[in-house]
Amino acid sequence: MTFIPDCSELSLLGHVVAHLGWEVSARWRSLRKMEADVAKYPKIWFLRHGQTEWNAEHRLQGQLDSPLTGQGIADARRQAVLMSPVLVDRPVCVASPLGRARHTAEIALGETPFATDPLLMEIHSGAWQGHRRDDILAENRELAQRNPNGLELYAAAPQGEGFAAFKTRIVAFLDTLSVPTVVVAHGLLGQVLRGYICGLDRAGMGALSNQQGCVYLLENGTETVLELSRT
């Protein structure tokens, strides 16, 4: 038996098809815009600072600071080996003004000069800066039940910067770039910067790796991790 839809059904079908066509068109336009946004950024080599004393103690640093450990200095030296062939071409180099990032840059970039930019400072974690992660979660049971990753923990800090302002600051920095650039900064800043370039949402950004002693190469919306063998 052949089914012949009546006029009301045909009208409904037409609305569904039109709606789906609009959704496909809108999504296509969105993807094209994303491609255009990604294409406007030059090649970036991103270096997270080496391990610090507060990293080792699992304390939230935010925009406070602590010195590099011996492991942190070794991390920066590994980055220096990775960056050596890149620095031959004298790319623009920019670092966070916080001490741990500047110390890392001095080691990893050697004699190559670098500027500092406050837009590259780590997310401000408000009242939780300097406190141990375990202590914060013990005092905030509801947050602990969500088992937050680093990005979500810092973003939840009372009197802190929050995710939206943090991301806006990072995009403002990216929009200043016009040539291949070396960036030496921080772990959470790196997750958001790298994730934004790669087209990830907030959850995807928070799930990215956050290694020290390596170099993240970002080009054409993709990421490649450069690292030395640990044999």
* Residue among 93, 89, 119, 92 nearest 104 (CA): 93
Which tokens go with 227?
A: 């690292």
Catalytic residue, from 49, 103, 124, 186: name it.
49
Could you tell me the sign of the dihedral formed by the alpha carbons of 140, 138, 122, 146, in that order?
negative
| Phi, psi dihedrals of residue 178, rounded to the nearest 5° | -135, -10
Residue type present at position 194: R
Does the annotation mark 49 as catalytic?
A: yes
Catalytic residue, from 103, 122, 124, 186: name it.
122
Residue type present at position 174: L
Helix (H, G, I), strand (E, B), or coil: what is residue 181? strand
Angle at which helices 99-108 and 70-87 pack, to 10 degrees? 50
Determine the longest span between alpha carbons in the chain, in angstroms.
Answer: 82
Question: What is the distance, to the nearest Å, from the Cα of residue 116 to the centroid of all Cα atoms in its chain?
Answer: 18
Does the annotation mark 186 as catalytic?
A: no
The Cα 222–Cα 38 span in angstroms is: 9
Q: So which residues are the catalytic ones? A: 49, 122
